[in-house]
Amino acid sequence: MKGLSQIKSIRSVKNIPRTRSAKPKNDSTEYLNLYVLTVERERLTKELAVLDRRRGEVDMRLKSLNDNIASLIAKRGMAIKPAEDESKKWKTVSLKY
């Protein structure tokens, strides 16, 4: 095995034998990871259900508002005006030098 005095460059570091450099795999860590991932999956599933329900409520409210707007427009006989171009038009000025 090489010691620090025998290492001449970075390339020599790559050749050092890796004995017991990694922890042995432990079954308890795998069970813990499995539990954490399962809990997160359940949380995200519940959150998705809440978001779906909320989206349905928002869609129903938008439909109700659109119906109310359409009935008021029909009642007043107003037409929806197309949006005008709000960009400013250039004013040209002639310059005499």
Residue 28: predicted pLDDT: 81
Question: What pLDDT, in 10s, does the model give residues 13-63?
Answer: 556 666 666 666 677 888 999 999 999 999 999 999 999 999 999 999 999
Name the residue with tokens 């050092």: 16
Instruction: List b or e across 36-74, with b for residues whose CB sees 16 or more CB atoms inside 10 angstroms.
Output: eeeeeeeeeeeeeeeeeeeeeeeeeeeeeeeeeeeeeee
Interatomic CA distance for residues 64 and 86, integer angstroms: 30
pLDDT band of residue 2 (cuts 50, 70, 90) is low
Question: Which pair of tokens denotes residue 4?
Answer: 């620090």
pTM, rounded to two decimals: 0.47
Question: Which pair of tokens denotes residue 64?
Answer: 């109700």
Name the residue with tokens 């809440």: 50
In this structure, what are the phi and psi dihedrals at residue 61, rounded to the nearest 5 degrees? -65, -40
* Residues with Cβ within 8 Å of residue 12, at least 6 apart in sequence: 2, 6
